[in-house]
Amino acid sequence: MLVNSTKVNTDGEVYHDSYQQQLEEEEEDTAATLEKEDDDDEKPILVQEVVQVPDESQAGDESTVFPQVSMDLLTIGTLLGRGGFGSVYGVASSQPIAKNAPQRIMHEYALKRLSDDVFEDEDDEDDDYQIEAAAKDLLIEATILSKLPNHTNVIRCHAVSAGFWENPARGFLILDKLSDTLADRIQRWMRLPEARAKQRARVRSIAPGIASALQFLHSHNVIYRDLKPQNIGFDAEGNAQIFDFGLARTHHADDKRKLTARTGSARYMAPENIRGQHYSFPADVYSFSILLWEVCTLQKAYASAASMGRLLRQVAHGSARPSRDRIESSAIKFLLEQCWQHEAALRPTFSQILGQLELQK
């Protein structure tokens, strides 16, 4: 999905040097970081997530179920990115895979599959569990995308490998190929004084598309759970698109089933997620507020925190939020305050957020 990415961090995420130097090791294992803190502090309770593994019959209807393609039709290009247990490669096909694609030209896509290192020791019981978990995430990602209509700000899946639904561990997805990520662009903007001065323009050009994507996902009962600049890409027309649905789940607001606690990336986790309590769609709203703050300030939230574990406890109990001093718009300051409310029920919906962002145009 991504291009021009040149480094891989300890989490397998592709990044550019200086912006990502601010990433800390808490993204590798937030739970372990928390447990290294003082034993007398209250620790969130991890909740086992119950996920029914889908099969092909649970995918979208006939209009959205993906065609199955053979690797023989594809020319594999360079590694574009890695994240978690997955790798993404550029691929080309002389035959159109996407619906309504023009004939007689070389079509470029992104291919996502499990990374080779997931299969290093298949005889090891722990590795078997890792393969099963990674394959399940890929299967769930394909199933969720198969049920969604097209949306300008959500990446599209065009096809899956032959036999994918029976054996996703050895299969792949064919996705839109995106140009770069929001993390990449923040990196570039940081270096350009004229770009740093255009805070309001950045908000107007990026925030509505992301909010629209999340409104769309929530309206289709999908909670995303991993919103961050690294998971926002841009298509050829410059539209922001949410990608990487490995942690997304089908969810209903009145669902009593608990989702796994501390799922996502540490800096963007909602307080109720950190505490191990029931969480729902407002957790995505909280994550959006931290991302919006970073778009405004071109800084990594909580970059100066000495202890991420201690900071997360402060976030979980409502006393820590990024400073709004550098936010130029009073309306955006107010929106941030509403979106990162400690009580999830007090946060606005994305329909309400879009209404407030429209006033910034």
Helices (H) and strands (E) in the chain, counts: 11, 12
Residue 207, domain member (yes or no):
yes
Q: In the predicted model, what is the mean pLDDT of residues 57-69?
A: 61
The total domain count for the chain is 2
pLDDT for res 121: 61
pLDDT tops 60 at residue 59: no
- Regarding whether 151 and 85 lie in a shared domain, the answer is yes
pLDDT tops 60 at residue 46: no
- Regarding whether 217 and 342 lie in a shared domain, the answer is yes
pLDDT for res 124: 63
Residue reference for tokens 């976030």: 315
- Regarding whether 338 and 193 lie in a shared domain, the answer is yes
pLDDT for res 341: 96
Q: Residue 213 maps to which CATH number? A: 1.10.510.10
Comparison of pLDDT for 73 and 212, the residue scoring more? 212
Of the residues 146, 175, 204, the one at which a domain ends? 175
pLDDT for res 79: 93
Of the residues 131, 147, 175, the one at which a domain ends? 175
- Regarding whether 138 and 64 lie in a shared domain, the answer is yes
Residue 130, domain member (yes or no):
yes
pLDDT tops 80 at residue 280: yes
pTM: 0.81
- Regarding whether 153 and 12 lie in a shared domain, the answer is yes
State the helix-helix crossing angle for 350-358 and 282-297, rounded to 10 degrees.
Answer: 30
The region of weakest confidence among 167-171, 191-195, 294-298 is 191-195
- Regarding whether 188 and 166 lie in a shared domain, the answer is no
Q: Residue 120 maps to which CATH number? A: 3.30.200.20
Residue 323, domain member (yes or no):
yes
At 250-259, the pLDDT tens digits run 998 888 777 8
Residue 219, domain member (yes or no):
yes
Residue 354, domain member (yes or no):
yes
Percent pLDDT > 70 in the chain is 77
pLDDT tops 80 at residue 302: yes
Burial 327-336 (b: 16+ CB within 10 A, else e): beeeebeebb
Q: In the predicted model, what is the mean pLDDT of residues 230-247?
A: 94
- Regarding whether 106 and 11 lie in a shared domain, the answer is yes
- Regarding whether 338 and 207 lie in a shared domain, the answer is yes
Percent pLDDT > 90 in the chain is 59
Enclosing domain of residue 114: 7-27+52-175
CB 46 within 8 A of CB 262: yes
DSSP 240-269: EEE---TT-EE--TT--SPPPTT-S-GGG-
pLDDT for res 308: 87
Q: In the predicted model, what is the mean pLDDT of residues 274-301?
A: 96
Of the residues 131, 150, 175, the one at which a domain ends? 175
Residue 38, domain member (yes or no):
no
Residue 2, domain member (yes or no):
no
pLDDT for res 83: 75
pLDDT band at residue 1, thresholds of 50, 70 and 90?
A: low
- Regarding whether 198 and 163 lie in a shared domain, the answer is no
pLDDT for res 332: 97
Q: In whole angstroms, what separates CA 144 from the centre of its chain? A: 14
CB 355 within 8 A of CB 338: no
- Regarding whether 332 and 308 lie in a shared domain, the answer is yes
pLDDT for res 61: 45
Comparison of pLDDT for 319 and 219, the residue scoring more? 219
The region of weakest confidence among 45-49, 95-99, 144-148, 190-194 is 45-49
Residue 34, domain member (yes or no):
no
- Regarding whether 137 and 197 lie in a shared domain, the answer is no
- Regarding whether 93 and 162 lie in a shared domain, the answer is yes
